[in-house]
Amino acid sequence: MKAEAELAAETTGVVHVPAGEGDTVFLLGDTYTTLLTGAHTGNAFSLLEALVPAGTGPPPHVHHAEDETFVLLEGELEFHAGEGVHRAQPGSVIFVPRGTVHHFANVGDGLARMLFMYSPAGMEAMFPEIGAPGRRGVQAPPLTAEDVRALAAVADKYRFSIVPD
């Protein structure tokens, strides 16, 4: 991972990601598109889009070095964060501070689409490292055991822990 000063030096100023573009991977049964990286934002944050099929979502986990913010655009998600459970409709915003166990599930009938942000940046590098090449807006293949193994294998590198149910 690059030093913060190196990332800040790479910041290009104004960044435009046209509709339908971004770096997309399939991972954990979801479609993830990286829209802004730390190199774009001086390492302040990264921004990704997730397409989450009905009945899916990541396992419980905790980020040790990043806060995470979610903005639901379409669908219905149930967020478990700390001791709380929050039902999110389009337009809902959920902020999860670092060190908080959390996960979400698509509890609707169709695809859910959301934006999510890590602050500071860095976590976004995990997605292309372990995901399979994908296409923005296209539903990912179902979750596999290999996805879960790949996630667990990079947990220390990206400063997160998977928490048993």
CB 94 within 8 A of CB 57: no
The tokens describing 67, both together, are 């806060």
d(CA 53, CA 94): 19
pLDDT tens digits, the chain, 165 residues: what are they? 344 444 444 666 899 999 999 999 999 999 999 999 999 999 999 999 999 999 999 999 999 999 999 999 999 999 999 999 999 999 999 999 999 999 999 999 999 999 999 999 999 999 999 999 999 999 999 988 898 899 999 999 999 999 987
Domain boundaries, the chain: 22-135
The DSSP letter of residue 124 is G
Tell me the CATH number for domain 22-135: 2.60.120.10
d(CA 137, CA 98): 29
Residue type, 94: I
- State the distance between the two ends of the chain, measured CA to CA, in whole angstroms: 31
